[in-house]
Chains A and B, each alone.
Chain A
Amino acid sequence: MPSTKRYWQDLAQLDPSAEVVSRNANEFNAPLPIDQVLGDSTITGASTGRRDFLKFLGFSLSAATLAACETPVIKSIPYVTKPEDITPGVANWYASTYFDGDDFASVLVKTREGRPIMIKGNPRFGINRDPNLVNTSSINARINSSVVTLYDSERLQGPHKAGAASDWATADKAIAEGLAAAVASGKRAVLLSNTIISPSSKAAIAALSTKLGGKLEHVQYDTVSQAALTNANAKSFGQRMFPDYDLTQADVLVGIDADFLGGWGNATEYAWQYTSRRRPETVSAVRPMSRHWQFESRMSITGANADERIALKPSRLPLVALALYDAVAKGSGAAGTGAGSIDEHTDHAIQKCAEELLKAKGKSIVFSGSSDEGVQTVINGINALLGNYGTTIDVVNGTSFKQGDDAAVAQLVKDMNAGTVGALLIVGVNPAYSLPNAADFKEGLKKTALTVSFSGYADETASLCGWMVPDNHWLESWNDYSPKPGHYTTAQPTIRPLFDTRQWQESLLRWSGSTVNYHNFIQDNWRATMPTVAFTEVWNKGLHDGVHQAFTPVRTASAFAGDINAAAASARKSAEGAGAFELQLYTKDSIGNGLHANNPWLQEMPDPLTKVTWDNYVLMAPSDLLTTVGKKTFNDLYIGEQSPAYLLKVTVNGLTLELPAVPAPGMAPGAVAIALGYGRGENGERVGRAACLRNEDGTHAPVGKNAYVFSHWANGHLNYGAASATVEFTGNMYPLALTQTQMTDMDRHSVVKQTTFATWSEHKPHETYNHRHMLAVHADVNEDGVIDARDKVPTTEVDLWAEHPVAQVGHRWGMSIDLNGCIGCGACITACSIENNVPVVGKDEVRRSRDMHWLRLDRYYSSDMTHEKGKAEGKGKIERYLDMEVPSAQPKVVFMPVMCQHCNHAPCETVCPVAATTHSNEGLNQMAYNRCIGTRYCANNCPYKVRRFNWFNYVTEKFGQVNPAWDELGRMVLNPDVVVRSRGVIEKCSLCVQEIQATKLKAKKEGRPVRDGEVDCACESACGTGAIVFGDLNDPDSRISKLVKAERTYHALEEIGVQPNISYMAKVRNVEETEHHHA
């Protein structure tokens, strides 16, 4: 039956008029006005015919094409008067010091043609260097990446009044008058700053205070406070200060919630001290390999390095301190605090820990990151019982770090709201962002007559201040620092201020009526405070070295005078009232407290443990997360390109944040953790290019969420946790960008190798933990008369190709990476990106696994399942592999830096159709970008997956928000010796070939062989723990040729026979069990 349906095209069909009917009939037949056009007399009379038109078209096309082929004229402008110490094309290095209130390091700044382009630790001077290591010094990713913020176009470019541009003369006059008026009115005039360890800065503050009749108060505020520790020291030892720890003298280290290799204390110094006692080759009877215990909730990199790690909910950690005190007291014959039991496993661990501590009296340290003064006092008590003061801890000659006074900050906010503060100067801190009661602070700012911010950005606090008088970037500034008694360091400008900014100290001097510049002021201050016969010599040498050691204090013991029982009561109280979930706030190894959130290199640097970039998130034990989201298996929690994370709602005291959840093996069940430092610029403040991105429609897209809202005041201290939090699944998902989605090494013992100190020290044949991979060959190797599968030779002896001539001729560059020395800090990742112009690609690209890092830091958790165990349990192969993907609830962790392995038999080289990647006679796998046509065969064939493809031209507007190389100013940070790669080519680690070539040239010019440790490989010089060693394998005296012969040395994936020039050294944990052969 035919269909009778009719389809209406428009309403006019309902009642067709004549016009509609004719129009529909001739729908596609509307007459073209040809006659009308051709009838135009101006056209027929035109002199340009159709053929002429085509000729012109053709001519102009070919002319344009040819003109485009011409090389443009390049201009060259020499200096009018060339500065004596600058040779274009040659880098200058200046010694300086980095200090931002938290991180401290003596550094060297590399400048090219007057532009700072690279920061590395000062390898010859400073407290952050291991004197036994060559060409390296300990810094972290925040310090070496800070060079890029110099070239941030969002920096304030001059003084501003109420948000509008002003000038210095007006500002100076108004602020000086405002200060005088505030003092005259009897109100408080306060300078709120981060910890100031600069003697001259303090003198500048004093100068202004003198001018104001001594009425200028200085309040120091540590964004992430350690005031509980310093206050406890005031009560225990009579001096409020952060102690000087010496980890090189410690046989036993116990960390209770203290991430001392990451974000706690002066971690750059502790890092090299820690690893100096972790190399099994250097141990002796008097200096055994250190034992490291860690009690914590969230797995920190410190916990990941620990020999014994016990995960507990935050509320249990004060009890650990008490129990440990009791156990140590028992062994020392002192009275205990009557601490109860925690649980059987923990009690046992504490008992064992205490026994070890008692064996290492005077040679141990117990750290605590607690925000409770009582807990810190108990810790002091333990250290005192162990006799550590005067040997490993010095509280007489302590450090100047962490001077923050929480009580004073709290009082200031109260007074501001009470209207009794007349003037507030703010430097180095961002309280409107980071205080728990930021709303009160903002309210108080409105009630303060004169508010002045020295911030370099119109950030959360500065944008609310009456005056913004921007400080120089630290690379444009003079300063001096004294982190420890007798130890002075200098900071010198390496570039003239890019904008109309002024050092805050100099501003204070102007307002105090002085006209002296801060450079001279520092010199005057040194002259006055360091009486010496040869000032010029001291100053010049101090400036050259970056360090002046005026005197070296002798370690001094102190008697503990704290009240243990009161402290124990306070500690016990802090452990009460725990809810279903307990929240802990922490600082990431990349972003820190949030001051550096605007740094794209840090945003793209993956977290060492979670491997997440560009976000903060809720860390939960996998088991807890499964319950929360209602899933069954660990694999349901997988986060990848197509698998977003579960979006959770975390509620604390009525405040909520929605954040994605990341399953964190090693997390204590019942604990959740969120990183601080994210969510900058939530209200659209211009806090720096990378911290607050813009959506396509121009709206703000802050990176992550601000978790400072969950911090609170407790007993007068800032507390970064919450005893009770509720966590719910929102039902939504959230994409996260991870650089590594795998958790375990799947029981493959050829990627990471590890063993125990007991095994290592017994000097069993190294096959026990570092077996050689064998291959059956067609020859009677074992001489049993038959050729069978038992006739095996090591894979290294089997070759498809002739031996590469690099073996003994000329140079053969190689690298050794000690997995025991690698603490996972990630400074090498950013150093590599800076040196080699590696682009930042942004969250979306990282999520698609298109991150461009030449060097990655693989993290492997241990799994409960092994092939051996699975076979014993009768599990099938697939089942075993599935189980092996799941990390243990409390896993062991290995960090493994992986870059191009520079294989002598490189699989990538043989598949390149255009010979864009070839082998050099110095053992380098070289990459010629201009030959590369982008087939990516090499990347497919690379067993280590270290080759990166430029999917886009990253120096375009599309990546302009994240890639510093996009804007005019940002690209000043690029290394001019390394080419910026374009779209469609592969790139990868070159072993810093530009530095190798430069060093060889230097040696040739000086007519001498290349010295060991002379080549400045970016990752090696950023690795202050000495885990990465680069050198010439053909030089028999080099460090590397000795290291490759060590028992621990192996090649990753040795069984495939690619013969890499990069070797690894197996990780050795200082645990008692011995291991069995597992091949």
Chain B
Amino acid sequence: MTGAYAQADKALYSTGEKVFKGNCASCHKPDKDMTGPAIKGAKARWEGKGDIHAWVKNSTAVIKSGNAYANELFNKWNKSVMTPNAISDAEIDAVLYYADNFVAPVKPGGGGDVVEDTRKAGDDTYWQWLLIVVLLLAIVVLSLGGVKHQLGNAVLEKQGKQPEPERSIWGNFVQWAGRNKAWASVLGVLFVVWLVVLGWDWAINIGVYGGEEVAHYKPSQPIAFDHTLHAGKDNLAINCQYCHSGAEKSKHAGIPSPSVCMNCHKAVSEGTKTGTTEIAKIYAAVGWDGKEYSGTPRPLVWNKVHNLPDHVYFSHAQHVAVGKLECQKCHGPIDTEMTVAEQWAPLTMGWCIQCHGETEVKVAGSGNGYYEEIHRRLVETPMGNRELREFLEDEKITVKELGGWECAKCHY
């Protein structure tokens, strides 16, 4: 934890972080170059060369205005256009502040919450210290035991009795256990409990793919389809929902029909990486011989990457159309890093409800008649008022507070 962050205006930093993640993170990193340049230092770089606010809001306009630095940047970054952002000046300032004061999470690649990672790091050192102390104590106990044994033998020798034979540590333990059955049982029970807990922790991760702690599930697919090529911002940048059209309408985002591929691939028969081999598989699927459809299609059999258990109801439409979440929120950098689609998030219930507990739902002033009605009921009734005040203790209404942690929201 650096001093800069400790002294920073936390509110501004977190606003910046939120705006950054919502608008910029698909192309930018705060401290490293990605599709676009690192934002750290951007404010300084633009100093005296133009209005950075105008640039962020609509870069094309600034380029057209003939701004020299803007054109330099545009050419430097392969002439890829930064998408216009509908955010306020204050929000841009917050993002710049966030980037300038950015502190990378301790565990790289997490993209999670800073505070949590710090705590984890603290936990690790705690264990190390504990281990050292335990080892030291063990050495002390063993040496004291040896001394005690020697002294005991000396006493026995003095009394003219047979000295106790030399035993191994295990032998000593067995002897001790034989004499102190109660303590030995307690230790035994604790040991078994420890084993059970270990086993439980291990078993709970069986079959869980994705996330940081377990391997990412990345099955092979019938076609070497590359998301970075099709959806990557610096490549074709096709909107996700062009192909996954169910995401806004249905619970399933859906795997696109090969007929959707044909919208483009009727013309594009050769790819940059795989040549004609992979695209030919689409043609085989739809029965296209280069001139006409044969009428004998052969459906593609994909390997499903994201598998939720049957007892969970998950709706893409709720999250995409209503919650306005970016696909990357759950699917990770699929458009920038995954040449083969893989499961990025663990998709465990803990992961779901963690997000439900943190994510804010804009109720008042959302412009959505449904949430406006919910807000009206919260404001206008005495009981609702009480709830509203409780909800707003952390200054936001979360999904959880609107019922996102209730069983029958997902299980029925």
Say yes or no for B101: interface residue by CB 8 A criterion: no
State which of A73, A89, A1006 has its C-beta within 8 Å of the C-beta of B252.
Answer: A89
Pick out which of these stretches binds chain B: A78-86, A149-157, A1071-1079.
A78-86
- Within A996-1047, the residues touching B (CB, 8 Å) are 997, 1000-1001, 1003-1010, 1034
Docked complex Cα distance between A805 and B390 (Å): 12
Q: In the assembled complex, how far is the CB of residue B377 from the closest CB belonging to chain A, in whole angstroms?
A: 6
Docked complex Cα distance between A809 and B311 (Å): 28
Q: In the assembled complex, how far is the CB of residue A1007 from the closest CB belonging to chain B, in whole angstroms?
A: 4
Instruction: Kindly list chain B residues whose C-beta atoms are within 8 Å of the C-beta of A587.
Output: none
Given known pairs A90-B249, A809-B378, A810-B403, the reply for A1005 and B299 (CB within 8 Å) is no
Instruction: Kindly list chain B residues whose C-beta atoms are within 8 Å of the C-beta of A926.
Output: 406-408, 411-412
State which of B300, B322, B387, B408 has its C-beta within 8 Å of the C-beta of A805.
Answer: B387
Instruction: Kindly list chain A residues whose C-beta atoms are within 8 Å of the C-beta of B250.
Output: 87-90
Pick out which of these stretches binds chain A: B88-96, B150-158, B225-233, B253-261.
B253-261
Given known pairs A807-B383, A810-B402, the reply for A78 and B368 (CB within 8 Å) is no
Instruction: Kindly list chain B residues whose C-beta atoms are within 8 Å of the C-beta of A70.
Output: 206-207
Pick out which of these stretches binds chain B: A657-665, A743-751, A917-925.
A917-925
Docked complex Cα distance between A78 and B258 (Å): 8
Instruction: Kindly list chain A residues whose C-beta atoms are within 8 Å of the C-beta of B251.
Output: 89
Say yes or no for A585: interface residue by CB 8 A criterion: no
Pick out which of these stretches binds chain B: A29-37, A240-248, A276-284, A928-936.
A928-936
Q: Is the interface of A mostly helix, strand, loop or mixed?
A: loop
Contact with B along A976-1010 (1 / 0, CB 8 A): 01110000000000100110010011011111111
Smallest CB gap from A76: residue in B: B304
Smallest CB gap from B252: residue in A: A89
State which of B257, B310, B409 has its C-beta within 8 Å of the C-beta of A79.
Answer: B257
State which of A71, A78, A1008 has its C-beta within 8 Å of the C-beta of B207.
Answer: A71
Instruction: Kindly list chain A residues whose C-beta atoms are within 8 Å of the C-beta of B286.
Output: 80-81
Instruction: Kindly list chain A residues whose C-beta atoms are within 8 Å of the C-beta of B304.
Output: 73-76
Say yes or no for A11: interface residue by CB 8 A criterion: no
Docked complex Cα distance between A303 and B259 (Å): 61
Smallest CB gap from A89: residue in B: B250
Instruction: Kindly list chain A residues whose C-beta atoms are within 8 Å of the C-beta of B409.
Output: 920, 997
Say yes or no for B22: interface residue by CB 8 A criterion: no
State which of A803, A928, A930, A1003 has its C-beta within 8 Å of the C-beta of B408.
Answer: A928
Q: In the assembled complex, how far is the CB of residue B27 from the closest CB belonging to chain A, in whole angstroms?
A: 28
- Within B291-333, the residues touching A (CB, 8 Å) are 297-304, 307, 310-311, 313, 315, 317-318, 321-322
Instruction: Kindly list chain B residues whose C-beta atoms are within 8 Å of the C-beta of A808.
Output: 377, 381-384
Say yes or no for B373: interface residue by CB 8 A criterion: yes
Docked complex Cα distance between A1009 and B409 (Å): 18
Say yes or no for A534: interface residue by CB 8 A criterion: no
Instruction: Kindly list chain A residues whose C-beta atoms are within 8 Å of the C-beta of B260.
Output: 82
> Contact between A1007 and B370 (Cβ–Cβ < 8 Å)?
yes
State which of A76, A87, A930, A1008 has its C-beta within 8 Å of the C-beta of B311.
Answer: A930
Say yes or no for B371: interface residue by CB 8 A criterion: yes
Contact with A along B371-411 (1 / 0, CB 8 A): 11110011001111011000000000000001100111101
Instruction: Kindly list chain B residues whose C-beta atoms are within 8 Å of the C-beta of A89.
Output: 246, 250-252, 254
Docked complex Cα distance between A805 and B298 (Å): 55
> Contact between A78 and B369 (Cβ–Cβ < 8 Å)?
no
> Contact between A977 and B378 (Cβ–Cβ < 8 Å)?
no
Given known pairs A71-B209, A928-B407, the reply for A1010 and B370 (CB within 8 Å) is yes
Q: In the assembled complex, how far is the CB of residue B306 from the closest CB belonging to chain A, in whole angstroms?
A: 10
Docked complex Cα distance between A1000 and B206 (Å): 35
> Contact between B307 and A74 (Cβ–Cβ < 8 Å)?
yes
> Contact between B246 and A810 (Cβ–Cβ < 8 Å)?
no
> Contact between B249 and A929 (Cβ–Cβ < 8 Å)?
no
Given known pairs A87-B250, A928-B408, the reply for A1009 and B383 (CB within 8 Å) is no
Smallest CB gap from B315: residue in A: A1001
Say yes or no for B367: interface residue by CB 8 A criterion: yes
Instruction: Kindly list chain B residues whose C-beta atoms are within 8 Å of the C-beta of A1009.
Output: 369-370, 372-373
- Within B11-58, the residues touching A (CB, 8 Å) are none
> Contact between B257 and A920 (Cβ–Cβ < 8 Å)?
no
Smallest CB gap from B297: residue in A: A80
State which of B256, B297, B302, B403 has its C-beta within 8 Å of the C-beta of A921.
Answer: B403
> Contact between B257 and A81 (Cβ–Cβ < 8 Å)?
yes
Docked complex Cα distance between A807 and B385 (Å): 12
> Contact between A993 and B303 (Cβ–Cβ < 8 Å)?
no
Q: In the assembled complex, how far is the CB of residue A994 from the closest CB belonging to chain B, in whole angstroms?
A: 5
Docked complex Cα distance between A978 and B408 (Å): 11
Smallest CB gap from B254: residue in A: A88
Given known pairs A82-B259, A1004-B370, the reply for A930 and B207 (CB within 8 Å) is no
> Contact between B303 and A1005 (Cβ–Cβ < 8 Å)?
no
Given known pairs A75-B302, A1008-B369, the reply for A87 and B246 (CB within 8 Å) is yes
Docked complex Cα distance between A1034 and B381 (Å): 10
Docked complex Cα distance between A81 and B282 (Å): 12
- Within B341-391, the residues touching A (CB, 8 Å) are 367-374, 377-378, 381-384, 386-387
Smallest CB gap from B286: residue in A: A80
Say yes or no for B219: interface residue by CB 8 A criterion: yes
Say yes or no for A69: interface residue by CB 8 A criterion: yes
Docked complex Cα distance between A78 and B222 (Å): 13
> Contact between B411 and A88 (Cβ–Cβ < 8 Å)?
no
> Contact between B408 and A1004 (Cβ–Cβ < 8 Å)?
no
Q: In the assembled complex, how far is the CB of residue A310 from the closest CB belonging to chain B, in whole angstroms?
A: 48
> Contact between A990 and B317 (Cβ–Cβ < 8 Å)?
no
Given known pairs A74-B304, A89-B246, A808-B384, the reply for A1005 and B322 (CB within 8 Å) is yes
Say yes or no for B340: interface residue by CB 8 A criterion: no
Given known pairs A75-B301, A80-B297, A1004-B368, the reply for A809 and B412 (CB within 8 Å) is no
Instruction: Kindly list chain A residues whose C-beta atoms are within 8 Å of the C-beta of B259.
Output: 79-82
State which of B302, B322, B378, B383 has its C-beta within 8 Å of the C-beta of A78.
Answer: B302
Instruction: Kindly list chain A residues whose C-beta atoms are within 8 Å of the C-beta of B321.
Output: 1004-1005
Docked complex Cα distance between A977 and B408 (Å): 12
Instruction: Kindly list chain A residues whose C-beta atoms are within 8 Å of the C-beta of B381.
Output: 808-809
Interface centre among B207, B406, B407 (most CB of A within 10 A): B407
Say yes or no for B285: interface residue by CB 8 A criterion: yes
Instruction: Kindly list chain B residues whose C-beta atoms are within 8 Å of the C-beta of A924.
Output: 408
> Contact between B302 and A1001 (Cβ–Cβ < 8 Å)?
no
Say yes or no for A285: interface residue by CB 8 A criterion: no
Docked complex Cα distance between A75 and B220 (Å): 11
Q: In the assembled complex, how far is the CB of residue A300 from the closest CB belonging to chain B, in whole angstroms?
A: 37
> Contact between A78 and B254 (Cβ–Cβ < 8 Å)?
yes
> Contact between A805 and B383 (Cβ–Cβ < 8 Å)?
yes
Instruction: Kindly list chain A residues whose C-beta atoms are within 8 Å of the C-beta of B368.
Output: 1004, 1007
Smallest CB gap from B206: residue in A: A69
> Contact between A979 and B310 (Cβ–Cβ < 8 Å)?
yes
Smallest CB gap from B406: residue in A: A920
State which of A73, A90, A921, A1006 has its C-beta within 8 Å of the C-beta of B303.
Answer: A73
Smallest CB gap from B411: residue in A: A928
Instruction: Kindly list chain B residues whose C-beta atoms are within 8 Å of the C-beta of A921.
Output: 402-403, 406
Q: In the assembled complex, how far is the CB of residue A208 from the closest CB belonging to chain B, in whole angstroms?
A: 35
Given known pairs A81-B286, A920-B406, the reply for A929 and B411 (CB within 8 Å) is yes
State which of B299, B310, B367, B383 has its C-beta within 8 Å of the C-beta of A1007.
Answer: B367
Which 6 residue pairs spanning A and B have beta carbons closest together? A926-B408, A89-B250, A808-B381, A928-B407, A1009-B373, A1008-B369
Q: A810-B402, A990-B412, A993-B408 are in contact. List 13 more A-B contacts (CB 8 A).
A: A76-B301, A76-B302, A78-B302, A81-B297, A88-B252, A88-B254, A805-B386, A810-B377, A918-B407, A926-B408, A997-B412, A1004-B371, A1009-B370
Mark A residues whose CB is within 8 Å of B. Answer: 69-71, 73-82, 87-90, 803, 805, 807-810, 916, 918, 920-922, 924, 926-931, 977-979, 990, 993-994, 997, 1000-1001, 1003-1010, 1034
Q: 9 interchain pairs (CB within 8 A)?
A: A75-B304, A79-B299, A918-B406, A920-B408, A997-B315, A1000-B370, A1004-B322, A1008-B370, A1009-B370
Mark B residues whose CB is within 8 Å of A. Answer: 203, 206-207, 209, 219, 245-246, 249-252, 254-260, 285-286, 297-304, 307, 310-311, 313, 315, 317-318, 321-322, 367-374, 377-378, 381-384, 386-387, 402-403, 406-409, 411-412
